[in-house]
Amino acid sequence: MPLGNVGVYEAVLVAAVAFFASLIGGVSGFGTGLILPIVLVPIVGVENVIPLMAVGMVLTNGSRAWAFWRAVEWAHVRRLLCGGLPCCALGAYSYTLLSSRWICLLLSAVMFCSIVFRRLRSSSNHRLGAFGEGVCGAGFGLVNGAMTGTGPVLSTILLSSGLYGAPLIATDAVISLTMGLVKVAVFGGFQQLDAKLVLGGLLIGLATVPGAFVARHLLRNVTPGGHSLLMEGVVFIGAVMLLVRGFY
């Protein structure tokens, strides 16, 4: 469906899902970029999802960084962005060369891999050093530039660097925000963003802002648990839908 034909019902649905996804992302460190594409693909078209999400996630991660600002671990931010930013720009440029079919297939692959990464994150006790963080930051930047829903990869890297809880959420948000600004600049420079997509992304981002502050309150009172399993189920179903769409 062209973005200009999106009705009130679709807009309200997207806003509600955006708030819910932001709430999950604010507690677990990932989820917003995985859940929203499942709803957005049939509404705006797969070719518009990544640029639209890039704009929306700037506000999403910006509000999360604001909510958790005092907990940011700046040393980890610098290490991961050192190699991550140029690779993110390269990844975003590579997206502009992809067809709709490949976008579906790659987005589906990222969703499937996110489940695996979450499992590995839960069982791994490996600690990354400064050099390891830099290398992982470059790899994450490349994937993140071309796709959405790569939050579990960054969460795994940060956990392996010794972060957890509020510092992980805050550091994740600042890194994702910075890379998101790079993606928006690249997409805008290569005509992948028009006024309607920017407006749609801003509206999605605004719908996610309250979720960050609600999540901050929840993070003080509950331990993240069952919501991750629920999200895995939703992400798995969405990945299968995209896989089918890519082949057919």
Percent of the chain with pLDDT over 70: 81
User: What local confidence, expressed as pLDDT, does residue 176 receive?
Assistant: 94
Query: Which of 27-36, 125-134, 163-172 shows the lowest per-residue confidence on average (mean pLDDT)?
Result: 27-36
- Structure confidence at residue 127 (pLDDT): 74
Q: At CA 235, angle to CA 222 and CA 200, rounded to 5?
A: 90
Residue 110 has pLDDT above 50, yes or no: yes
For 86-116, give one letter per residue: b (16+ CB within 10 A) or e. ebbbebbbebeeeeeeebbbbbbebbbbbbe
Place of tokens 């976008």: 103
**Measured distance CA(140)–CA(134) in Å, rounded:** 10
Work out the average pLDDT over 234-243.
72
| Cα–Cα distance, 54 to 38 (Å, whole number) | 15
Report the half-sphere exposure of 216 (CA within 13 A, side-chain side): 16
- DSSP letter at 3 equals G
Q: Residue 89 has what pLDDT?
A: 95
In the structure encoding, which two tokens stand for residue 239, read together? Answer: 């990945």
Distance separating alpha carbons of residues 233 and 176, to the nearest angstrom: 24
CB atoms within 10 A of CB 74: 10
Mean pLDDT along residues 88-94: 92
Which pLDDT band, with edges at 50, 70 and 90, does 69 fall under?
A: very high
Does the pLDDT value for residue 63 go beyond 90? no
Nearest to 201 by CA among 214, 216, 188: 188
> Does residue 231 register a pLDDT over 60?
no
What pLDDT does 214 receive? 80
Residue with token string 């901050």:
216
pLDDT tens digits for 212-230? 778 777 766 655 555 556 5
Could you tell me the CA-to-CA distances from 209 to 17, 65, 115, 205, 248 in Å, in that order? 12, 11, 25, 7, 36
What's the confidence (pLDDT) of residue 109? 81
The per-residue b/e assignment along 9-27, b for 16 or more CB within 10 angstroms, e otherwise, is: ebeeebeebbbbbbbbbbb
The type of residue at 229 is L
The alpha carbons of the chain give a radius of gyration, in whole angstroms, of 17
